Copies of this chain bind each other. A is one copy, B any other.
């Protein structure tokens, strides 16, 4: 052998338990983890096909859609984003990207890589878009596609979508929505709101490990994909073939790629747990937990980045870092002392906010109370650390 066996691999793997109350991933339940640790099965085995069929129904339920072309992409949320853009855009097509945090920037970057022309519309960090603003931009740019984020985990801002589908379609524009951080925490109705493409992540409210990205396309979007002049740029995300592997149409299941049976089992259980609780109750639970969190944060004298409550995303709360603390001290104390993850900012909010996530298995009053207790102590610690330094 030219390269010898790495010594670094000879010590045992140690995985500590953590309570993940950042913007995601969130903790999976023991039931989901049990499923993920089951034996590997082949991607063409009947039990895997069955679980995939069940996942499709579960995804239709959480997206509130009857879309035929509904499945889970084998990749992180970013893979869902690229799958939407690579399937709907061809070289030279124009896309309008509504940028409210880092996700819009990424979408614009991806679209340009595919040779599309990406136009941007921006909003302030702590604000969402009005329908009038969006309509004005669509009218001006006449894009083939509008890309927008329902809940921006980098800012904690919630973007209402009702009425936007009608506006888009009036201008012959498709509507694509990122619901990675929002789905299950706020209402979402793909069909009722006339959304043409939507994706989310498995590791947030859906409560399973990262690695699968649920996705769904309206009949209008499906037609656009099947009538493309050029093939989808990425084989791995080509819905005309991937949709067959997931048995969305034609009733054939050709081999496209090797799905991960273990992640399939985990997502199936995550969706089953939501179906058992009921989506309305899931959303209500997240909203009640957010209310409890806001109240507790108020008692601690903390200020939220998003002032107007109706613009706040219940799943990710952005808290302004008080002037008298170093945010890293707070985050470090919470992790070190309680194994509780509270996050700093991301993109436009780096150094400016703490982010607390309430998602899936962690969206309970007990967890809210825990994170408030930990945050209180951590702030006290950071303040005394600062005083000691002065």
CB <8 Å contact, B43 and A6: no
Which B residues are CB-close (under 8 A) to A279? 1, 5
A24, A234, A341 interface centre (most CB from chain B within 10 Å): A234
CB <8 Å contact, A258 and B113: no
Residue of B nearest to A347 (CB): B255
Which B residues are CB-close (under 8 A) to A113? 231-235
Within 8 A of B (CB), among A62-86: 64-66, 74-79, 82, 86
* Copies of this chain, tallied across the complex: 2
Which B residues are CB-close (under 8 A) to A9? 54, 57-58, 61, 268, 271-272, 275-276
Distance between A187 CB and nearest chain B CB, rounded to angstroms: 9
A8, A18, A47, A279 interface centre (most CB from chain B within 10 Å): A8
Alpha-carbon separation in the docked complex, A33 to B39 (Å): 7
Within 8 A of B (CB), among A21-57: 22, 24-28, 33-43, 45, 47, 51, 53-54, 57
CB <8 Å contact, A76 and B6: no
Residue of B nearest to A202 (CB): B260
Complex interface: stretch among A127-135, A163-171, A203-211, A291-299: A203-211
CB <8 Å contact, B78 and A109: no
Is A214 at the interface (CB under 8 A from chain B)?
no
Alpha-carbon separation in the docked complex, A276 to B13 (Å): 14
Residue of B nearest to A346 (CB): B255
Is A388 at the interface (CB under 8 A from chain B)?
no
Alpha-carbon separation in the docked complex, A114 to B18 (Å): 42
Q: Can you show 28 pairs from A to B with CB atoms below 8 A apart?
A: A1-B64, A2-B189, A2-B191, A5-B279, A6-B275, A8-B54, A9-B57, A9-B268, A15-B265, A16-B47, A20-B40, A20-B41, A22-B42, A74-B76, A75-B257, A76-B257, A76-B258, A77-B257, A78-B256, A78-B257, A106-B235, A109-B235, A110-B235, A113-B231, A209-B263, A211-B263, A233-B233, A260-B263
Q: Which 9 A-B pairs have the closest CB atoms?
A: A37-B37, A211-B260, A6-B57, A5-B275, A78-B257, A9-B275, A9-B272, A76-B257, A15-B38
